[in-house]
Amino acid sequence: MGTVPQRLQRVLERPGPLADLLGRLEARTGVQRLYLATGSVAFLGLYLAFGYGAALLCNLIGFLYPAYVSIKAIESPNKDDDTTWLTYWVVYGTFSIAEFFSDIFLYWFPFYYAGKCLFLVWCMAPVSWNGSQVLYQKVIRPCFLKHHQAVDNVLSNLSTRALDAASVVTREATRAALRPSREPSRDE
């Protein structure tokens, strides 16, 4: 199995854009990629804890990579990756709504954005126990299955009312347009 640094080293050497970038940096600086990666993660963590614009950086981390791989998933013939990233976006959306209401209290905590970033990375991690899968299966799906019929009924009623209102407005507008206009009298 190996120690944590050995496992991390194997991950950093797997072919891909991260390994390519670290390889170029390693060649230019002479610093091992393991140290480059751990230093970058440490800097990112400190910046998220104390830096200006930590909220923006955290949201970019939670959005840019998932958006990129979601587009790749849409374009691929494999549909398993579509499910993986749809699940991520459902959890991300649910988290964003919950965060909207709790952010006023939570952002005062010094390591809030570092914790949020770790949470989002856990949600997109390429492991079977990633946050998206766990939260979807344990929280969101049971809640959805319990309440989806009531939500469907409300949405159906709202759409019926909206169509009725649009029909009334259209009918009244048509009547108003077809009425002969009153011609001004000579006295006016």
- The CA-atom distances, in angstroms, between 113 and each of 30, 86, 99, 102, 117 are 32, 24, 12, 13, 6
pLDDT given for residue 184 in this prediction:
61
pLDDT given for residue 63 in this prediction:
92
pLDDT given for residue 182 in this prediction:
64
- The CA-atom distances, in angstroms, between 130 and each of 1, 97, 111, 127, 134 are 21, 20, 21, 5, 6
Q: Residues 71, 72, 74, CA angle at the centre, nearest 5°?
A: 65
Mean pLDDT per block of 10 residues along the chain (188 residues) reads 73 74 85 84 78 83 90 89 91 91 78 87 86 94 91 87 87 83 61
Stated length of the chain = 188
Please indicate, yes or no, whether the overall pTM of this predicted structure exceeds 0.85.
no
pLDDT given for residue 145 in this prediction:
92
pLDDT given for residue 183 in this prediction:
60
From CA 42, how far away is CA 4, in angstroms rounded?
Answer: 16
Q: Residues 78, 11, 112, CA angle at the centre, nearest 5°?
A: 90
pLDDT given for residue 132 in this prediction:
93
Helix extents (H) in the chain:
4-13, 17-29, 33-50, 54-75, 80-106, 112-124, 131-135, 141-178
Q: Where do we find the tokens 């507008």?
A: 173
From CA 145, how far away is CA 136, in angstroms rounded?
Answer: 12
